[in-house]
Amino acid sequence: MDTIGLIGVGLLGSAIATRLSAAAYSVLGYDLIPERRLGANSAQEVARACRTIILCLPTSDVVAQVLAGIKLDPGATIIDATTGEPAAMAALGAKLAKDSVDYLDATVLGSSRVVRSGAAIVMAGGRRQTFDAALPLFRTFASRAFYLGSYGAGARMKLVANLALGLHRAVLAETLAFAHACEVSPTDALEVLKAGAAYSRVMDDKGQKMLDHDFTVEAKLSQHLKDVRLILAAANARNAKTPLSQIHRQLLERLEAAGYGDLDNSAIIMAYE
């Protein structure tokens, strides 16, 4: 099999690399932090050696900077797993197409732990042929992959999904804090909630972490704050009403200012303590 390039070997990138390696793919990875690198000492080294490159970077601005600094051969494929600004990702896809480089904004729904278990969801925009060719890679770390349309469609869907996911976490945190205030055991409350109509998969992923104050990082709180800001910017541009997300942003900003930004996003519970 071809060697798969990876630029950005943080929480998401390292989880994808683990799954690719387990499926017998060779991975050549570069990261700014030397200890994270997987055999490459520069992004250009990855671009020179690999026809398919996965990007797992903090923002679409960083993606643009990285791609501006490397030379891509015609026929290369960029799979961009970054949660970025949809319009910027759409423009990037169109720009790369002019140079005969395929591009997918293949955003990933699921924490690094979910990716490592192979149960993530991929939401992709770009050419259908490029998506179909990438399916074997997606199947190494995702239980389902959705083709959603042209460039930027995956990024838009990621914001939609993250709006719901983030609010589910905030609602769970508020509910557990309310249970405690009402002299109901939060542990009992979580068990009852899981059994009934109020159930959300977030309860499985984050409920016990909230109860235990286990904020071991699977996805950083500050990274989700960045996503919420993208959601609100997109909503403002389209005159969509998002009052709950505005409150959510305020909660996350207060937690980031208090030093919780680099912890897991289950630390949203601290907004209520």
Summarize pLDDT for 234-247 with one digit per residue, the tens. 999 999 999 999 99
Instruction: Provide mean pLDDT across the span 37-46.
Output: 97
Pick from 156, 169, 149, 164: nearest CA to 266: 169
CA distance 60 to 149: 19
pLDDT for the residue numbered 77: 97
What residue spans define the domains of the chain? Answer: 4-151, 156-272
Fold classified for 4-151 = Rossmann fold (3.40.50)
pLDDT tens per residue across span 125-134: 999 999 999 9
**Given its phi and psi angles, is residue 169 left (phi above 0), alpha (psi -120 to 50 degrees) or beta?**
alpha
Average pLDDT over all residues of the chain: 96
Instruction: Provide mean pLDDT across the span 3-27.
Output: 96
pLDDT tens per residue across span 152-211: 999 999 999 999 999 999 999 999 999 999 999 999 999 999 999 999 999 999 999 999
Instruction: Provide mean pLDDT across the span 26-44.
Output: 97
H helices of 99-127, where?
A: 112-116
Asked if the model's pLDDT at residue 136 lies above 90, the reply is yes
* 41 three-class SS: coil
156-272 is a CATH 1.20.140.10 domain: no
- State the pLDDT confidence band at 1, using cuts at 50, 70 and 90: low
Instruction: Provide mean pLDDT across the span 5-32.
Output: 97
Asked if the model's pLDDT at residue 83 lies above 90, the reply is yes
Question: φ, ψ for residue 14 (rounded to 5)?
Answer: -70, -35
37 neighbors 14 (Cβ within 8 angstroms): no
CA distance 144 to 107: 12
pLDDT for the residue numbered 2: 84
